Every structure is written in C-alpha cells, then in structure tokens.
A = this chain, B = another copy of it.
Amino acid sequence: MPRHLISKLEQFTRLSVSDKQALETAAGEKRRRIGPREDIIREGDDPAFVNLILDGWACRYKQLEDGRRQIISFFLPGDLCDTHIYVLREMDHSIGALTPVTYAEISRETLARVTAEHPRITQALWWDTLVAAAIQREWTVNLGQRTAAERLGHLLCEIFIRLRGVGLTEGHSCVLPVTQADLGDAMGLSNVHINRTLQELRGSGLIVLKGRQLTIPSLAALQAASLFNPNYLHLDRVGRHLDANDQAGDGTD
C-alpha cells in the first residue's frame, strides 16, 4: 500500500521485491485516518513515530501567538516526515491534515530494522530527505524573491512534478485539494490576493483551474513564467548505480 512512497523512491533507485515488501510491512504496522484540520502531531509533542502519508494532503505549519499561520511545507501521498525526528525531544511545529488523510505510524525500531537490512532503502531515504531539505530552501527563495504570480506558479510546478513522481497526475492534470486560504498561508499571501493571482495565471492561459482540478497546459511555459528550475528536485536518477539487481526479475515491476 505505500505505493506512492515506492514510486517516489524508485525515481532515485530501483528497489528489489524484498525492499518493497519491507516497506509494505513497515507501513502496515499502524495505520490511522483523520479528517481535514485535524492534527497528526502538535508543536510541543514528543515525536514518537515517523509518519508516512499514504493518502491525502497534509502540511507542516506553525502558528504565531497572534494567530498568523504559515504553512511550512506540503505533505503529499508518499511523503515521510523527518526520519530522524526522535533525536529531538519535542516538535517545534505541527503537522496537520488539509484533506482527509490516511497515514502510517512507523516506529523508530521498525525504521532502524528496515534500513539496517535494506541498504538501498537507506540510500533512497537519504535522497528523499535531502530533496525535502532542498524544497524547503526553494521555498525560502520563493517567499523572499518571487512576486505573487511567480510564487504561485512555482508552487504549482513543484506540486505537479511531485505528484507526477508518485503517479498522481493524469496527462497535464492533477488535483489541487486545498483552499485558496491554505495556498495563501503557504505562500505568505492573503487569500484575496491568491484569488486574484490565480485569475491572472488563468487569464494568461498558464493554468486551468476548475474546482479542485488543476491543468497545466504547458508545464514548460509555467516554469518559464515562474523562474522554475527543477534541479532542486534532483530527479536525475543519481542512484542508478544502486539499482537492485541481486535477483533476476527484481525491480522490473
């Protein structure tokens, strides 16, 4: 069932049948389901598990004393929250659902066992962690330098490509199941301005957005308009040399 995670990791390296089974087992241990606006974990809590999003969208966020909320990152299906979080004593931010979410709680011990026995998974999780850090850096650039239209366009490019990596796009389309207010909290813009900026992107034909269905007629055009350079997602199959080949037939499915 953690097929999205597997798809994602296979962008980096090919996994053997046994690798996939190990992930399967780990993700099956403890499964939970929550509704939108519910929290998976809160600032101040002791992080006991690594959470794996199986379905739905969640986010990291932080709320200032006066109510301002910043969404720090989006969690899409297949995303894993910090694999070493248990080194720290308490959460410095919260993780909450934006849509109905199904996720797996993976214990520290399980994760340790899986990585000890499956070096390719270890490598792939490293890659995933580094890409997550790169995305966070890119958001810094996004918030610091880009205009509203560039910023939003950039986000949509990123989301589309990430969803494609986990098999959740269809042609030029994908879902965008969050409210405009959520997008605003993520981009540091008011919901009103998000609305106007979306209209601007629609007006210039860069996106088609009907309800929760997003279509990007030309990803290249949206990328160009948003100064989007996909290099930070590191989709260049760096880990080719780690492709599983220890058993005939492995990794071909």
Task: Kindly list chain B residues whose C-beta atoms are within 8 Å of the C-beta of A238.
Answer: 87-89
A188 B234 Cβ-Cβ under 8 A: no
Number of copies: 2
Shortest Cβ distance from A12 into B: residue: B87
Report the stretch among A25-33, A100-108, A129-137, A203-211 that lies at the interface. Answer: A129-137
B123 A87 Cβ-Cβ under 8 A: yes
- Chain B CB within 8 A of A253 CB: no
Q: A92-B234, A134-B92, A231-B92 given as contacts; is B87 within 8 A of A141 (CB)?
A: no
Q: How far is the CB of A251 from chain B (nearest CB, A)?
A: 19
Within 8 A of B (CB), among A119-168: 123, 126-127, 129-130, 133-134, 136-141, 143-146
- Chain B CB within 8 A of A248 CB: no
B188 A93 Cβ-Cβ under 8 A: no
Q: Give the CA-CA distance A136 to B90 in the complex, in Å.
A: 17
Of the candidates B43, B89, B146, which one forms a contact with A236 in the assembled complex, judged by CB atoms under 8 Å apart? B89
- Chain B CB within 8 A of A72 CB: yes
- Chain B CB within 8 A of A42 CB: no
Task: Kindly list chain B residues whose C-beta atoms are within 8 Å of the C-beta of A141.
Answer: 62, 64, 70, 72
Interface string of A19-46 (1 = CB under 8 A from B): 0000000000000000000000001100
- Chain B CB within 8 A of A193 CB: no
Known: A64-B145, A87-B127, A92-B231. 9 other contacts (CB 8 A): A60-B137, A70-B140, A87-B123, A88-B127, A92-B137, A133-B133, A143-B143, A143-B188, A145-B188
- List residues of A whose CB falls within 8 A of some B CB: 43-44, 60, 62, 64-66, 68-70, 72-73, 82, 84-85, 87-90, 92-93, 123, 126-127, 129-130, 133-134, 136-141, 143-146, 185-188, 227, 231-232, 234, 236, 238-239
